[in-house]
């Protein structure tokens, strides 16, 4: 097996470093400004994007987290009044849906301003349109999508 191309390996390491740096900045801002763990915001954001209701299994897939870890997180979020569990539609009563509460929607709205501000400063604002296009192409190839 041939050794990895040093240039590609360097890009991989920079991707990991960039992700870690952004994750730290977002985590710090969310906790300091909103007293909200970043994983909670990400769950609220996924729920908001899905129209406020989503099956737990689908939410776990969207967040790339195990269903058992997500379930524990959602229980804590439910205790805080941000989400509630609901049964599925008549055609699938076995499905558990997570529903964004009014408090969850308000919390998401406030936290989203912090999230967007940090991303604008640390990420969006540093990229030219050509950088974004190149990254879209590269990530699409890696993910095997369009």
* pLDDT tens digits in sequence order for the chain, 146 residues long: 788 899 999 999 999 999 999 999 999 999 999 999 999 999 999 999 999 999 999 999 999 999 999 999 999 999 999 999 998 665 565 688 999 999 999 999 999 999 999 999 999 999 999 999 999 999 999 999 86
**What is the tens place of the pLDDT at every residue in 3-18?**
889 999 999 999 999 9
**What is the tens place of the pLDDT at every residue in 115-129?**
999 999 999 999 999
Chain centroid offset of residue 125 CA: 20
Residue 52, by phi and psi: left (phi above 0), alpha (psi -120 to 50) or beta?
left
Question: Domains of the chain, with CATH numbers?
Answer: 37-115 (1.10.10.10)
CA–CA gap between residue 63 and residue 37 (Å, rounded): 14
CA dihedral 58, 60, 49, 78 (to 10 degrees): 110
Position 90 scores a pLDDT of 56
- Quote the Cα angle for 23-64-107, to 5°: 60
How many CA atoms lie less than 13 Å away from 33 in the CB half-sphere?
18
């Amino acid at each position: 097996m041939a050794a990895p191309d040093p240039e590609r390996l360097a890009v991989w390491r920079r991707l990991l470093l960039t992700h870690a740096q952004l994750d730290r900045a977002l985590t710090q801002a969310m906790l300091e400004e909103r007293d909200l763990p970043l994983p909670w915001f990400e769950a609220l954001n996924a729920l908001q994007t899905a129209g406020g209701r989503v099956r737990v299994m689908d939410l776990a897939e969207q967040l790339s987290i195990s269903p058992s870890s997500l379930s524990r997180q959602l229980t804590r979020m439910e205790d805080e009044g941000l989400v509630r569990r609901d049964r599925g539609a008549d055609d699938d009563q076995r499905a558990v849906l997570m529903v964004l509460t009014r408090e969850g929607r308000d919390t998401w709205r406030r936290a989203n301003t912090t999230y967007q501000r940090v991303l604008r400063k640390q990420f969006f604002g540093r990229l030219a349109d050509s950088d974004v296009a190149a990254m879209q192409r590269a990530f699409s190839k890696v993910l095997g999508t369009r």
